[in-house]
Structure 1
Amino acid sequence: MSILLDCILLIDDDEPTNFLNKMTLEQAGCSRQVHVAQSGLEALAFLQDTTIRPDLIFLDINMPAMDGWEFLERYRNLPPARKADIVLIMLTTSLNPDDEKRTRAIPEVAGFENKPLSQEQLDFLLKKYFSES
């Protein structure tokens, strides 16, 4: 795959899932940097305080303290320059059809995928959102 992003942000409280997803991303060689945030608060701090702006965010729904929905509410309030052109994908184990329906109604969310992230999912998402053709 010839697509190379500057940064991908994984937001998930589950360490084994983060390990698997990060390994998939690193093996694909599709990003110069993969940053992991284990909470919505940590992710918001990263998005507000860093000079690096991710090209792609994978967000879990079910997390303690601040779930994916609350993260999205706060994400909406970030300055437009901090979130411009970021592709945000819900990456979850949720089998609740209401979660997918709710996700599709949120303009900031580009897609809804099941985790862990597979190479096939990643290839599809990179081609869909970052391919120049």
Structure 2
Amino acid sequence: MSAPFKLCLLIDDNYIDNFVTTRILDTANFAEKIEVYQSPASAIEALRDGKVKPDVIFLDIRMPLMSGFEFLQEYDKLNIDKNNIKMYMLSSSLDPTDIRKSSDNKYITQFIHKPLTFQVLEDICT
């Protein structure tokens, strides 16, 4: 069975979280390709330059130098087609402000608590 998405972009500074999330995405055959960026600024640059054209983005909130919310501000400035990109805030944050800010952001499809699960991926695909 083919993967429902071509390219999944994972933006998270935590190596262990990236390893676990990537394994779950691979096992679920979620995307044909998964690219991991530990730096939100590098992800913005890759998107701006057209090096990556994801169908789905999983974005962490708490990262050094640039938070997930700061990433979203920079993402908003990009001159790329954003209509076919689903973005999910994937975070361990329990802060109601983070959840509300995510829900209020026009680019965020859903706030998902870490760790990512097969059930969540199944819900995304249906």
Gaps of 5+ in 1: 128-133
Q: Does 1:43 align with 2:28?
A: no
- Counterparts of 1:19-38 in structure 2, within 5 Å, are 19-38=19-38
Q: Does 1:117 align with 2:110?
A: no
Question: Partner residue of 1:68?
Answer: 68
Deviations 1:86-133, CA, capped at 9 Å, x for gaps: 001000000001111111111111110011211111111121xxxxxx
Count of residues in Structure 1 that have an aligned counterpart in Structure 2? 126
Could you tell me how far apart the structure 1 residues matched to 2:86 and 2:60 are? 14
| Preserved CA contact (<8 Å) 1:3 1:126 | no
| Preserved CA contact (<8 Å) 2:12 2:63 | yes
TM normalised by structure 2 equals 0.94
Could you tell me how far apart the structure 1 residues matched to 2:18 and 2:51 are? 23
Amino acid at match of 1:86: I
Question: Partner residue of 1:131?
Answer: none
Question: Partner residue of 1:86?
Answer: 85
Q: Does 1:5 align with 2:10?
A: no
SS of residue matched to 1:36: strand
Identity of aligned residues (%): 37
Gaps of 5+ in 2: none
| Preserved CA contact (<8 Å) 2:59 2:88 | yes
CA RMSD of aligned residues (A): 1.4
TM normalised by structure 1 equals 0.89
